[in-house]
Amino acid sequence: MRQPHARKHRGLADPSLLTCFLTLATTVITARTPAISDFDWTTVTPSTSLNYTSCYDQTYKCAKLVVPLDWLSPESLTDNYQNGNTSVVTLAIIARPATVPESDPRHGGTIIVNPGGPSGSGVGFMLRASELVQRTADSEELGRHYEILSFDPRGVGLTEPRADCFGGDEFARGTAWWTNRGLGAVGEAGEDGGRGDLDTVRRAMARAEGFGRMCEARNGAAGKDGGIWGFMSTSSVARDMVAIVDKLDELRKRNLAISNADTVRNGADEEAQQMIELRSTVDAESDPTPRIQFWGFSYGSALGNYFASMFPGRVGRVILEAVEDVNDYHSASWHVALMDTQHVLDHFWDTCFRGREACALYRPSDSSADTIRGRVRGFIDGLEANPAPYVSPETNTFVAVTKHDVLEAILRPLYQPQRDFPALALLLSEAMQGNLTLLYKSLNQAPTHKDSCRNNKTDPPAYTCGPDAMTAIACGDGEPQDNLTAVEFADYVCGLQRHQNADFAFLEAQVRLGCSGWRIRPKYRFDGPWTTPASDARGVRGKPAAPILFVSSRYDPVTPLANAVAMSRDHPGSRVLVQENAGHGSLFSPGRCREGYIKRYFATGEMPPEGATCQPDCEPFQECARMGGVGALTSVGDEGPDTRSWRAPRAII
Ligand SMILES: *[C@@H]1O[C@H](CO)[C@@H](O)[C@H](O)[C@H]1NC(C)=O
Ligand SMILES: *[C@@H]1O[C@H](CO)[C@@H](O)[C@H](O)[C@H]1NC(C)=O
Ligand SMILES: *[C@@H]1O[C@H](CO)[C@@H](O)[C@H](O)[C@H]1NC(C)=O
Ligand SMILES: *[C@@H]1O[C@H](CO)[C@@H](O)[C@H](O)[C@H]1NC(C)=O
Ligand SMILES: *[C@@H]1O[C@H](CO)[C@@H](O)[C@H](O)[C@H]1NC(C)=O
């Protein structure tokens, strides 16, 4: 049963979680998801090797790994670090051990996961989803059991230094959030194909520039956040992953040496002894370089693509799911994301109609999905004509709820239909009956001024800086946008509305808007090409041990299937596996077929056949026996999102 969670202090939530308040009434919640703040990370000693501490009820191991701030001049890391030089990054690392001991021949090594964003917290993702990830990758049949590991990337979450443009001033951050909200959506009234409200665009761009200037002023300032801003690029994160892989290898060799010695001492049977030796050398026949096993979602697919292209000889197994188009990302054009969003929304109407009473929007008189769609559309258009007042007495807040608020509330559940459609239907149904409480709560968790008092000396600092890190990473990776004019930007929004999606263009446009005010350039920036040499399963120096496996939903709200197809074309031997469902990737849509391919790929490197497609096991709004594990994820509501984002980040959760 879900237990009420008495939080001593505010958790460090994933910045990308916009819909945490949603819970699925229809699923059984099996276990409480720990809050990030349940473990005191200040007790972990930073180290240049992986020095794990047991954490989160002994379910996980946590470590702080020290890496150079600047990978282009990393030489004196250790000396500097020991001399108290702060030109280092301390990565917060968390691992869920395999279900078999490391000395067991079925131990398949470590799979590193990234949840996307950019600026998604790996720690938060692990607490919510590592059990599901492990269950999906592990195979009894193939005798493979993996450790799952993630980390908060540079500038993000518990990794230090943290990228925080407000320097911990939560009052100022909350005020900025409200000011941005008051400004209204960019592209308002642009649906007729005109430039929309240029005045709003001009003010929004001036504010984006102000934000950028404020972050610049913090760059290099005294204190712990000094200097991180130019060192958060995806290239640096990919290089951090190489370091993690090396440290894992180092640790494993040390542990196996100890366990081998024990085995010999205890006279354990010879066969087990041989298997241990075989496994520790099997990947080293021709090249002893440690290789990665990686599963990246959403922006994590861009990270994996950078990694594989920069360090092809480090690729063991790489799955890229909910695939970002790196060319679009690197050029900062943000042009392709919404290609299939409408299909996902159509899936909502269709499955709601088929789900009948399980969908709160369904009425017995409905003759088709279109009837439901029409009713909700009428509500949205009504709000366009007449925004509705909402009063939140607990927080002494009143707002005008607009059409754009409803659209924003709709976009995020499109990421995980199986999990979030029922709650979306309830939210809309209640709003249409005049109760805007759920809708208001979904508005990126509007900050209250009470929030600004939560941070005191006994509190760990809240992680509200997702947008800061996201802007630094995405805009730094992308081509400079700081010369964009208001007219050019308005034309861009128009283009998105006309050619991508009229409803959600204003959200997609937020990323590029942020970049228009961003001038900090990263020192270490990879410019492609995003490609890998042909793989060789024998583990040949400089070559991947297996091609990349791309995984996509048929319809993805923010990373369309066309991205996966385009990225795959540039990686010889790679394949695209499609699951016939809608959603941002399919991690949360159970499907035995898809899982079978994933298990085989991790265990053997075997690819699905060309053009392989899989049916999901379940459909939203229907009873789904296989949702048991996913149910646990719905308790994310315990955590409460600390997002002050007015963006739509591309993270899986
Ligand atoms: C500081 O935080 C602690 C833990 O949340 C809380 O008990 C205490 O009342 C707070 N102090 C102030 C002055 O707000
Ligand atoms: C490893 O961590 C423990 C506990 O945090 C600490 O006492 C020890 O000094 C650390 N060792 C190294 C080599 O950092
Ligand atoms: C810290 O290390 C960096 C990189 O090696 C070096 O440039 C810098 O001068 C050092 N700072 C101090 C205070 O030692
Ligand atoms: C409005 O909805 C909220 C959340 O579902 C509920 O707690 C509240 O009682 C409702 N208010 C009214 C007046 O029905
Ligand atoms: C932006 O404009 C400035 C000033 O006109 C110019 O120096 C700079 O090169 C321009 N940058 C780009 C990327 O065009």
The DSSP code sequence of 161-216 is SB--TTTT-HHHHHHHHHHHHHH--TTTT-TTSS---HHHHHHHHHHHHHHHHHHH
Q: Whose CA is nearest to atom 3 of ligand 1?
A: 458
Look at residue 331 and tell me whether its pLDDT is greater than 50. Answer: yes
Find out whether the beta carbon of 53 lies less than 6 Å from any atom of ligand 2: yes
Q: Give 452 Cα–ligand 1 centroid separation in angstroms.
A: 12
Q: Give 518 Cα–ligand 5 centroid separation in angstroms.
A: 13
The confidence score (pLDDT) of residue 188 equals 64
Q: Give 364 Cα–ligand 4 centroid separation in angstroms.
A: 23
Strands 397-401 and 145-152: unpaired
Q: Whose CA is nearest to atom 13 of ligand 1?
A: 456
Nearest ligand to the C-alpha of residue 453? 1
Q: Could you tell which of 78, 85, 88 is best to mutate to test the pocket of ligand 3, judged by most ligand atoms within 8 Å of the CB?
A: 85
Residue scoring higher pLDDT (1 or 410): 410
Find out whether the beta carbon of 9 lies less than 6 Å from any atom of ligand 1: yes
Q: Whose CA is nearest to atom 13 of ligand 3?
A: 85
Find out whether the beta carbon of 483 lies less than 6 Å from any atom of ligand 5: yes
Closest ligand 1 atom number to CA of residue 459: 2
Q: In 3D, which of 496, 511, 488 has the Cα closest to residue 648?
A: 511
Cα 270 from Cα 276, distance rounded (Å): 10
Cα 420 from Cα 20, distance rounded (Å): 10
The confidence score (pLDDT) of residue 512 equals 94
Closest ligand 5 atom number to CA of residue 483: 1
How many C-beta atoms surround the C-beta of residue 267 within 10 A? 8
Question: For the chain, how big is the Rg over CA atoms in Å?
Answer: 24
The predicted model gives 285-305 an average pLDDT of 92
Measure Cα distances from 369 to 51, 115, 333, 397, 429 in Å.
55, 33, 35, 36, 15
Q: H-helix or E-strand containing 376?
A: helix 369-385
Percent pLDDT > 70 in the chain is 80
Cross-strand bridge partners of residue 152: 92
How many C-beta atoms surround the C-beta of residue 565 within 10 A? 15
Q: In 3D, which of 649, 635, 648, 650 has the Cα closest to residue 11?
A: 635
Look at residue 149 and tell me whether its pLDDT is greater than 90. Answer: yes
Contact assessment for residue 369 and residue 353, using Cβ atoms and an 8 Å cutoff: yes
Secondary structure class of 336 (helix, strand, coil): coil
Secondary structure class of 571 (helix, strand, coil): coil
Residue scoring higher pLDDT (179 or 25): 179
Find out whether the beta carbon of 483 lies less than 6 Å from any atom of ligand 2: no
The predicted model gives 69-80 an average pLDDT of 73
Strands 650-651 and 116-117: antiparallel
Measure Cα distances from 441 to 20, 436, 445 in Å.
10, 9, 6
Strands 60-68 and 116-117: unpaired
Contact assessment for residue 12 and residue 460, using Cβ atoms and an 8 Å cutoff: yes
Find out whether the beta carbon of 430 lies less than 6 Å from any atom of ligand 4: yes
The predicted model gives 463-468 an average pLDDT of 84
The confidence score (pLDDT) of residue 436 equals 96
Cα 221 to the center of its chain, rounded Å: 29
The confidence score (pLDDT) of residue 117 equals 87
Nearest ligand to the C-alpha of residue 519? 5
Per residue in 417-443, pLDDT (tens digit) is: 998 999 999 999 999 999 999 999 887
Look at residue 588 and tell me whether its pLDDT is greater than 70. Answer: yes
Nearest ligand to the C-alpha of residue 437? 4
Local confidence band at 53 (pLDDT 50, 70, 90 cut-offs): very high
Q: Whose CA is nearest to atom 10 of ligand 3?
A: 85
Look at residue 158 and tell me whether its pLDDT is greater than 60. Answer: yes
Residue scoring higher pLDDT (339 or 75): 339
Find out whether the beta carbon of 435 lies less than 6 Å from any atom of ligand 4: yes
Find out whether the beta carbon of 78 lies less than 6 Å from any atom of ligand 3: no
Nearest ligand to the C-alpha of residue 74? 3
Q: Could you tell which of 41, 42, 47, 254 is best to mutate to test the pocket of ligand 2, judged by most ligand atoms within 8 Å of the CB?
A: 47
Report the chain's terminal Cα–Cα distance, integer Å: 22
The confidence score (pLDDT) of residue 442 equals 84
The confidence score (pLDDT) of residue 392 equals 87
Cross-strand bridge partners of residue 68: 88
Nearest ligand to the C-alpha of residue 231? 3
Cα 446 from Cα 98, distance rounded (Å): 39
Q: Could you tell which of 43, 45, 53 is best to mutate to test the pocket of ligand 2, judged by most ligand atoms within 8 Å of the CB?
A: 45
Q: Give 191 Cα–ligand 1 centroid separation in angstroms.
A: 48
Q: What is the DSSP letter of 627?
A: G
The confidence score (pLDDT) of residue 85 equals 60
Q: What is the DSSP letter of 400?
A: E
Look at residue 288 and tell me whether its pLDDT is greater than 90. Answer: no
Cα 10 from Cα 309, distance rounded (Å): 39
Q: Give 231 Cα–ligand 3 centroid separation in angstroms.
A: 15
Q: In 3D, which of 443, 551, 464 has the Cα closest to residue 174?
A: 464
Q: In 3D, which of 633, 616, 624 has the Cα closest to residue 577?
A: 616
Residue scoring higher pLDDT (58 or 262): 58
Closest ligand 1 atom number to CA of residue 456: 1
Contact assessment for residue 552 and residue 578, using Cβ atoms and an 8 Å cutoff: yes
Q: H-helix or E-strand containing 486?
A: helix 486-499
Cα 199 from Cα 183, distance rounded (Å): 10
Where are the chain's structural domains? 48-161+232-330+527-615
Find out whether the beta carbon of 438 lies less than 6 Å from any atom of ligand 4: yes
Look at residue 596 and tell me whether its pLDDT is greater than 90. Answer: yes
Percent pLDDT > 90 in the chain is 64
Show Cβ contacts of residue 456 under 8 Å, excluding neighbours closer than 6 positions: none
Q: H-helix or E-strand containing 553?
A: strand 549-555
User: Poorest-confidence range of 223-237, 265-279, 609-623?
Assistant: 265-279
Cα 497 from Cα 283, distance rounded (Å): 50
User: Poorest-confidence range of 23-37, 114-128, 426-440, 607-621?
Assistant: 23-37
Q: Whose CA is nearest to atom 7 of ligand 4?
A: 437
Cα 262 from Cα 320, distance rounded (Å): 39
Cα 634 from Cα 420, distance rounded (Å): 9
Find out whether the beta carbon of 570 lies less than 6 Å from any atom of ligand 4: no
Q: Could you tell which of 40, 48, 51, 64 is best to mutate to test the pocket of ligand 2, judged by most ligand atoms within 8 Å of the CB?
A: 51
Q: Give 63 Cα–ligand 2 centroid separation in angstroms.
A: 10
Nearest ligand to the C-alpha of residue 442? 4
The predicted model gives 446-463 an average pLDDT of 59
The confidence score (pLDDT) of residue 264 equals 61
Sign, CA dihedral 578-580-585-587, equals: negative
The confidence score (pLDDT) of residue 184 equals 85
Look at residue 346 and tell me whether its pLDDT is greater than 50. Answer: yes
Q: Give 175 Cα–ligand 4 centroid separation in angstroms.
A: 27
Residue scoring higher pLDDT (410 or 627): 410
Find out whether the beta carbon of 51 lies less than 6 Å from any atom of ligand 2: yes
Q: Give 582 Cα–ligand 4 centroid separation in angstroms.
A: 30
Find out whether the beta carbon of 480 lies less than 6 Å from any atom of ligand 5: yes
Cα 507 from Cα 526, distance rounded (Å): 27
How many C-beta atoms surround the C-beta of residue 398 within 10 A? 10
Architecture in CATH for domain 48-161+232-330+527-615: 3-Layer(aba) Sandwich (3.40)
Q: Could you tell which of 67, 86, 87 is best to mutate to test the pocket of ligand 3, judged by most ligand atoms within 8 Å of the CB?
A: 87
Strands 60-68 and 397-401: unpaired
Q: Whose CA is nearest to atom 5 of ligand 1?
A: 9
Q: Whose CA is nearest to atom 4 of ligand 2?
A: 45
User: Mean pLDDT in the chain?
Assistant: 84
Local confidence band at 487 (pLDDT 50, 70, 90 cut-offs): very high
Nearest ligand to the C-alpha of residue 66? 2
User: Poorest-confidence range of 448-457, 471-480, 557-566, 574-583?
Assistant: 448-457
Contact assessment for residue 565 and residue 526, using Cβ atoms and an 8 Å cutoff: no
